[in-house]
Amino acid sequence: MKAWRLHGPGGRFALEEIAIPAPKAGGVVVRMEAAPVLSYMRRVLDGSLGYALPSGPFTPGTNGIGTVAAVGPQVYHLAPGQRVALSPHYAVDERAPEPAQLLIGLTAMGSARFAAREAAALALQADWPDGVFAEFAHLPAACATPIEAAVAPARLAAIGKFVVPYGGFLRGGLAVGETIIVNGATGFFGAAAVVLAVAMGAARVIAAGRDEATLRTLAAACGDRVGSVRLTGDIDADATALREAAGGGADMALDVVGRATSADSTLATLRGLRRGGRLVLMGSMTVPLPLTVGEMLANNWSVLGQFMYPKEAIARLAAMIAAGTLDLGKVDLETFALADLGAAMDAAAAMRALDCTVITM
C-alpha cells in the first residue's frame, strides 16, 4: 500500500510503498476512504509545535472514514465490510486511576497535555504509532465506530470537525433551550460548535471572535438563533457585549481558541455568563488564565477542562446526521487526493469557519 511516512520531526516526509499491516490482537485494518486534515498538521510534522511524535518512522493523520478490511483476535463487534469512522483518541481500558492515552497519528499525552509523559503513554504509542494518511490504517478496534449514514465518505469525514466541540458540550451539560457563547467561533472547531449547538437545541448561540466579516457569514449560515459579537480585546466592554447579546448572560460557554497569547477573550467569555454558568476550556493558551476567587464564588461559576470526547460521541453524532438534525452540508468541503497531501496541508492552514480540507483515497 501507499502511506505517508515521517522520519522524525522535520525529517523526510514522503509517500512510500509499505506492506499492508496484519491486524494484531484488538486491532482492525481499515481500507481508508477519506480523512480530514488539521490546520496545524504541517507544524506538527516539522516539530515546531513540540508534539510527542513516535520515535521511529510513522504515518500521521487522525480521524477518518473507511471500510473494515480485516480484524485481529479479540475483536468481537466489528467485521470486514463494515464502514467505520475512526478516532485517534485511545485510552487504555485498564483499572488504573489515570489510564494512559494518546492521539494516534499525532502525539502521546501526559498530565500536562504534551509534557510529563509517563512510560505507559510512550509504550502505548510504540504499539500504535500509525495514523490514517494511507491506503490502509491499523488502529485499535476501540477507535472504530460503525457508521451508517447516506453521506459520501469525503463529507462524512467532516464529522471529525464536530466531534471535538461535541465533547465540550457533553462535558458542560448543554441542555435544550439554553444560551451558549462560543469563543473562537471563526476557527475550525469553533464554527462547527456554532452549527452543532443549534442542532442540539440551544435557544441562542453567540458566536464570538475578532473577524467580523467571518462572524456575519457564520451567523447567516446558521439561522436566526445565532448572533455574533466581535471581540475588541477590552475585557469589560467585550463581557458587556456578550451579556447583552445573550439576553443578560449565557448559561454556558465553550472556549476553543487555539494557542491564544492572551487570556482577554477567555476572561470576557467567562464574565459573559450568568450566575451559575459553566465555561468549558478546549483550546490552548500560552499564558496563565487569571481567575479571581471572590468573583468565582460570587457568581457560582464552573470552569471545566475537557480533552477530546467520550467513546460514544461519534455514534451519537452519526445518529444526529441520520435524523437530519446535524447537516454536514453546511461544511465547505475541499478535497485532495492522497498523493496531494502537501497541497492539502497548505489549504488546511488557510481554513476559516466552516471550511474543511479532506484527502480521499
Within a domain: 318: no
HSE-CB of 204 using CA atoms within 13 angstroms = 18
The pLDDT tens digits of the residues spanning 62-78 come to 999 999 999 999 999 99
Predicted confidence band at 116 (pLDDT cuts at 50, 70, 90)?
A: low
pLDDT at site 113: 59
pLDDT at 9 over 70: yes
pLDDT at 110 over 80: no
Q: Does 216 lie in the same domain as 74?
A: no
Which cell numbers hold the place of 129? 504509532
- Same domain (yes/no): 225, 290: yes
Residue 47 φ then ψ, to 5°: 85, 0
- Residue 109 banded pLDDT, cuts 50, 70, 90: confident
Cα–Cα–Cα angle for 252, 292, 303, rounded to 5 degrees = 30
pLDDT, tens digit (0-9, with 9 covering 90-100), for 292-344 = 999 999 999 999 999 999 999 999 999 999 999 999 999 999 999 999 999 99
Indicate if the pLDDT at residue 118 is higher than 90.
Answer: no
Q: Are residues 200 and 102 in the same domain?
A: no
Confidence band for 115, pLDDT divided at 50, 70 and 90: low
144 and 32 Cβ atoms separated by less than 8 Å = no
Residues 170 and 154 in one domain: no
**The pLDDT value given to residue 258:** 92
Task: Provide the pLDDT for residue 169.
Answer: 98
Q: How far is the C-alpha of 190 from the C-alpha of 222, rounded, in Å?
A: 13
What local confidence, expressed as pLDDT, does residue 119 receive? 87
pLDDT in tens, 215-226: 999 999 999 999
Domain count, the chain: 2
* Domain encompassing residue 120: 2-158+331-360
Pick the most confident of 91-95, 118-122, 147-151.
91-95
Do 297 and 340 fall within a single domain?
Answer: no
Query: Residues near 186 by Cβ (< 8 Å), separated by ≥ 6?
Result: 207, 209, 210, 211, 214, 215, 218, 352, 353
pLDDT given for residue 114 in this prediction: 58
354 in a domain, yes or no?
yes
Shared domain for 123 and 257, answered yes or no, is no
Please name which of 113, 121, 130, 123 lies closest in space to residue 57, comparing C-alpha atoms. 130
Q: Given CA atoms 303, 306, 312, 315 in this order, what sign does their dihedral have? A: positive
Q: Model confidence over 163-197: pLDDT tens digits?
A: 999 999 999 999 999 999 999 999 999 999 999 99
pLDDT of 228-277, one tens digit each? Answer: 999 999 999 999 999 999 999 999 999 999 999 999 999 999 999 999 99
43 to 40, 63, 122, 353: CA distances (angstroms): 5, 18, 21, 20
> Helices H, strands E: what count in the chain?
11, 18
Same domain, 107 and 225: no
What angle separates helix 235-245 from helix 264-271, to the nearest 10 degrees? 40
- Is 165 part of any domain? yes
Give the model's pLDDT for residue 21. Answer: 97
Mean pLDDT of the chain: 96
Instruction: Decide if 247 is inside a domain.
Output: yes
pLDDT at position 343: 98
Q: What is the pLDDT of residues 77-102, one digit of tens each?
A: 999 999 999 999 999 999 998 899 99
pLDDT at 112: 59
